[in-house]
Structure 1
Amino acid sequence: MAPKVLVSDKLSETAVQIFRDRGIEVDFEPTLGKDKEKLAEVIGKYDGLAIRSATKVTPKILEAATNLKVVGRAGIGTDNVDKVAASKKGVIVMNTPFGNMITTAEHAIAMMFAVARQIPEASESTHAGKWEKSKFMGVELTGKTLGVIGAGNIGGIVCDRARGLKMKVIAFDPFLSEEKAEKMQVEKVELDELLSRADFITLHVPLIDATRNILSRENLEKTKKGVRIINCARGGLVDEEALADLLKSGHVAGAAFDVFAEEPATENPLFGLPNVVCTPHLGAATTEAQENVALQVAEQMADYLLTGAVTNALNMPSVTAEEAKIMGPWLELAEHLGAFVGQMTDEPIKAINITYDGLVADMNLDALGCSAIAGVMKSVNPDVNVVSAPVVAADRGIQISRTTQAKSGVFDAYIKLTVVTENRERSIAGTVFSDGKPRFIQIKGINIDAEVGEHMLYTTNKDVPGIIGTLGQTMGENGVNIANFTLGRATEGGDAIALLYIDAPLPEDVRQKLVGTGLFQNVSPLHFNIG
């Protein structure tokens, strides 16, 4: 029987035809996704679900999706899909991460022009029959300094376009290497320097803990007087109240926003202010981009349903069914190892080396490597998946290497991940026990035996009395429950580490209390995707 796909959002007829041409039965119901009850009622008939952003794939929908094998999102964002529930259900979630990069970058450049020359206000004035030529005095882009926060895929395109406009481009991106910056012909700087030098600032980073409110009131006040700020990335990157105040005071000359902290944005502190250009999240809204992502998702879903090939999956690597039975725990381990070093590294990564020892050296190393690299890169870009991670790493100039070797220790197999930066190397090793659970077995060359939990705390210190007591007492006094506690040391009185598996995220005030004891060189909360 031919697979059956439901298209519940607006996809192009060309994309729908791809399914038909490849022998897949398809129902095109472009408004059905808005009707949750009706979608839940019919979803059980389908093997695939193709969506944009209107359809919400909730646990309730997935529970009713008795035959569903794949959800394909035409676009990059998958906030409308419960990926945890989909994984538990065995449903693959795909997206199209590279279909709208140029469109979004072009929108940022267009917004920069618009705010530089006050085009929307001038247009409105002229439409009203006024001829206020002297009122709208703009500035040129040529020769101005553009500060780009986030020089990844979209930010990199913006850098390239801005250089074509003869702008001086400076970039802040902790994962941008000097070699990559030189190749891009941009100057790599720290955030404070960017704020003080830039005539225009444009943001191109995901919304994660490290970037949330990156343009806070404090940072906005550090900017050059007369700066213009463009945000076509994510709402929540800029303190909108603070920006409004600085626009009113004249410190900030203008702003252009396509995204907002609350969307749909019917009210916002920026609305109604002079020389503020606002658009309703149009970054990916071009005919070409919408067509590209629609065609891509149709091809990807058809490939999977007909041949089992997995492309741009967010919740599984590209492996065969036979491999998955054996490799599942090892793929999970590889991602955990990457996530550990990714969360612990706050400077540009030059290289990633993965060593496969013993039996694991005979597995699908491409899939394992992609999982490990994705773990590293997700710490700065949660949209990265096992397919796009190597591309993202390559774009950042990161050298990837792997080593295989025969069994060399007490374990039948293990994986060791080493990240190299300008100033240091950081390594971690792990294995999978007979119960199928991943374990960390070595950090910084120190042997341990640590179960991996969703929420963990990693500390480094000198091997002195009182560490266990301080950790236990501080956690206990602040209501933090410890599920597992692992210690290790290099030598008596030398470097030592502790890895705690805790039941909930560590509150910042508790972390500060541990730092305040003076006993620890490093106190780092960690998070791992489990299951």
Structure 2
Amino acid sequence: MSREEQWNMSVAQDEKVETIKILITDRIAKEGVALLRTELPQAQIDERPGMKPDQLKAIIGEYQALIVRSETQITEDILAAATHLKIVGRAGVGVDNIDTETATRQGIMVVNSPTGNIVAAAEHTIAMLMALARQIPTANSSTKAGKWEKSRFLGVEVRNKTLGIVGLGKVGTEVARRAQGLEMQVIAFDPYVAPEQARKLGVSMLGFEEVLKQADFVTLHTSLTSGPSGTKGLIGAHELHLLKPGARLINCARGGLIDEKALLDALNENRLAGVALDVFSQEPIRDSAVLKQILADERVIATPHLGASTEEAQIGVATDVAEQVITVLQGNFPRSAVNAPLILPETLKVLQPYMRLVEQMGRLYTQLQPGPLHKIEISCSGDIASYDLRPLQAALVKGLLESVSDAHVNMINAPTLAKQWGLEIIEQKSTTPAEFANLITLRMMNANGYPSSFAGKPGSGDEHVEVISGAVMHGEPRIVRVGRYWVEFVPEGYILFCRNPDQPGMIGRVGTVLGKAHVNIRQIGAAGDIFGLTLVKL
């Protein structure tokens, strides 16, 4: 696949690097590593678990791909040294150990494997719920200690109890299904889930505080985010006071969702019948006095982040992230990009030739433009207008910037770079076909507002605007308009634009001049207006 054919993700092997190099810094299932070796036999795959940050920083510049689990911290400092890195793959769901904001600025794709451990996490949640209901861990310890305290460990049935789920995503949904199998009533809070989706699942959607007030068991299944509207400390003192007396709380999602000091206070005040924790704000627990006091309470069940720790889940996340790394290194788009818009494979297949077209239109502009660019309108007519056009915008930014700067542009960092360069991109859509079944037109106002020699026709309103139109014919990008001139050529190789009087003999004169200079002509054409335009493909 040529550079032009690789749709702009710039994930092909860097010219200065002879071998694709993949670094794995946490232990993943051998099936994932085997898949990498099978599909990328030319790649160098280094497994280096347990590296210290300074060691990782010293070598990361050699690699195009990095695979981690939760142990390795991918910080801004490390990413600054990752000069060839194209992708960071997280074999698991959470990416809070990866500085995704910095990765985005640098055009580094971050992917995770959100489906590989869904069942494992859901089953662990149900196991914790049942263990809480029947006090299994303390009963086990008591019996092994030689005691027979049958009357002490009086449990509760979960049938007809209400389970409150905070976060009805993939894991939360699987928990709901299993809880319904146990004849529990399921209520949930998730601002991003459509009511119809919840109804189909048989789940009643309520407000956050209502879920806390009504539930006998509360389980958390949301990501950890910071900021004013973030989820860090989602369950604090106020929320714990809303719970029913004797409620039970489960967290198998992310450490930090629960304010642990407030949780300790609630336990000390005997407001909770039990707590089950698989995740903590500090992992492993070393010097947190609060956590140590929480774990000392026999009403608390604790496991060392085992949500995804099944044989099946480990294989699932390892092979899933390996497949996505392979996909990206082969120049295609992955299914679970964390810091890029979700583009379905069938949509990408339709858009790819138009992405190549728009990138070339951007490159053409930088060679014809009379001044710095300010505002761009990308107008799409025909069926293409019904698609998500963000990939086309990224391709346009790539074409505009890469030929005039050292910027490395792809769909990940295109919006950020456009903002840095002061580019305002306006999108216009019309599903009604224009001159072609699918036509893309760029109207670009330069910052100084003065006219270009290839601007629109006088009196058209486009005198101070570069106008370039393109279409895809038989799967091949074609430029069909430059300024006021309707033309047709494939945007590749060297092309000579000649302004000339619109009169007979001009093509011959251009050909003669080029022939005397020993320049071979592959194709020549002309377009007429007040002035003529001769296009010569060399």
With normalisation by structure 2, the TM-score equals: 0.60
Aligned to 1:358: 379
Deviations, residues 231-253 of structure 1 (Å, cap 9, x unaligned): 11222322333332332333211
Match of 2:355 among 311, 323, 338: 323
Q: Per the alignment, in what secondary structure is the counterpart of residue 336 of structure 2?
A: coil
- Pick closer, same or farther for the CA change 1:327–1:170 going to 2, 3 Å: farther
Q: In 2, distance between residues paired with 1:312 and 1:14?
A: 19
Kept after mapping to 2: 8 A contact 1:4/1:24: no
Alignment of 1:82-481 (within 5 A): 82-208=99-225, 209-266=229-286, 267=288, 268=291, 269-317=293-341, 323=355, 326=358, 358-359=379-380, 366-368=387-389, 404-405=430-431, 434=445
Q: Per the alignment, in what secondary structure is the counterpart of residue 389 of structure 2?
A: helix
Aligned to 1:44: 61
Q: In 2, distance between residues paired with 1:167 and 1:185?
A: 11
State the Cα distance separating 1:300 from its structure 2 match: 1.3
What value does the CA root-mean-square deviation take over the aligned residues? 3.6
Whichever residue aligns with residue 301 of structure 2, its letter is V
Kept after mapping to 2: 8 A contact 1:145/1:199: yes
Q: Which has the larger radius of gyration?
A: 2
State the Cα distance separating 1:150 from its structure 2 match: 1.6
State the Cα distance separating 1:206 from its structure 2 match: 1.9
Deviations, residues 464-508 of structure 1 (Å, cap 9, x unaligned): xxxxxxxxxxxxxxxxxxxxxxxxxxxxxxxxxxxxxxxxxxxxx
Q: Per the alignment, in what secondary structure is the counterpart of residue 28 of structure 1?
A: strand
State the Cα distance separating 1:367 from its structure 2 match: 4.8
Q: Per the alignment, in what secondary structure is the counterpart of residue 49 of structure 1?
A: strand
Deviations, residues 28-55 of structure 1 (Å, cap 9, x unaligned): 3242x52333333333332222222233
Q: In 2, distance between residues paired with 1:53 and 1:147?
A: 27
State the Cα distance separating 1:125 from its structure 2 match: 1.2
State the Cα distance separating 1:154 from its structure 2 match: 1.1
State the Cα distance separating 1:105 from its structure 2 match: 1.2
Gaps of 5+ in 1: 331-355, 373-384, 387-401, 415-430, 437-531
Q: In 1, distance between residues paired with 2:238 and 2:159?
A: 29
Q: In 1, distance between residues paired with 2:208 and 2:321?
A: 37
Q: In 1, distance between residues paired with 2:301 and 2:270?
A: 16
Kept after mapping to 1: 8 A contact 2:236/2:258: yes
- The more displaced of 19-28 and 119-128 is 19-28
Whichever residue aligns with residue 334 of structure 2, its letter is V
Whichever residue aligns with residue 290 of structure 1, its letter is Q
State the Cα distance separating 1:327 from its structure 2 match: 7.6
Kept after mapping to 2: 8 A contact 1:144/1:168: yes
- Pick closer, same or farther for the CA change 1:95–1:116 going to 2, 3 Å: same
Whichever residue aligns with residue 27 of structure 1, its letter is I
- The more displaced of 242-251 and 71-80 is 242-251
Q: Per the alignment, in what secondary structure is the counterpart of residue 299 of structure 1?
A: helix
- Pick closer, same or farther for the CA change 1:231–1:361 going to 2, 3 Å: farther
Deviations, residues 2-34 of structure 1 (Å, cap 9, x unaligned): 523222221222211112212242333242x52
Deviations, residues 321-378 of structure 1 (Å, cap 9, x unaligned): 98289489x9xxxxxxxxxxxxxxxxxxxxxxxxx99337776865537999xxxxxx
Kept after mapping to 1: 8 A contact 2:23/2:48: no
Q: In 1, distance between residues paired with 2:271 and 2:443?
A: 56
Q: In 1, distance between residues paired with 2:254 and 2:382?
A: 40
Alignment of 1:31-70 (within 5 A): 31=49, 33-70=50-87
Kept after mapping to 2: 8 A contact 1:357/1:404: no
State the Cα distance separating 1:228 from its structure 2 match: 0.8
Kept after mapping to 2: 8 A contact 1:150/1:173: yes
Whichever residue aligns with residue 358 of structure 1, its letter is S
Q: In 2, distance between residues paired with 1:51 and 1:172?
A: 31
State the Cα distance separating 1:156 from its structure 2 match: 0.9
Aligned to 1:25: 43
- Pick closer, same or farther for the CA change 1:285–1:304 going to 2, 3 Å: same
Q: In 2, distance between residues paired with 1:19 and 1:311?
A: 17
State the Cα distance separating 1:203 from its structure 2 match: 1.3
Aligned to 1:454: none
Kept after mapping to 2: 8 A contact 1:146/1:201: yes
With normalisation by structure 1, the TM-score equals: 0.61
Gaps of 5+ in 2: 1-17, 363-376, 394-410, 413-427, 448-538
Aligned pairs, how many?
A: 362
- The more displaced of 274-283 and 214-223 is 214-223
Whichever residue aligns with residue 90 of structure 1, its letter is G
Q: In 2, distance between residues paired with 1:432 and 1:314?
A: 32
Aligned to 1:13: 30
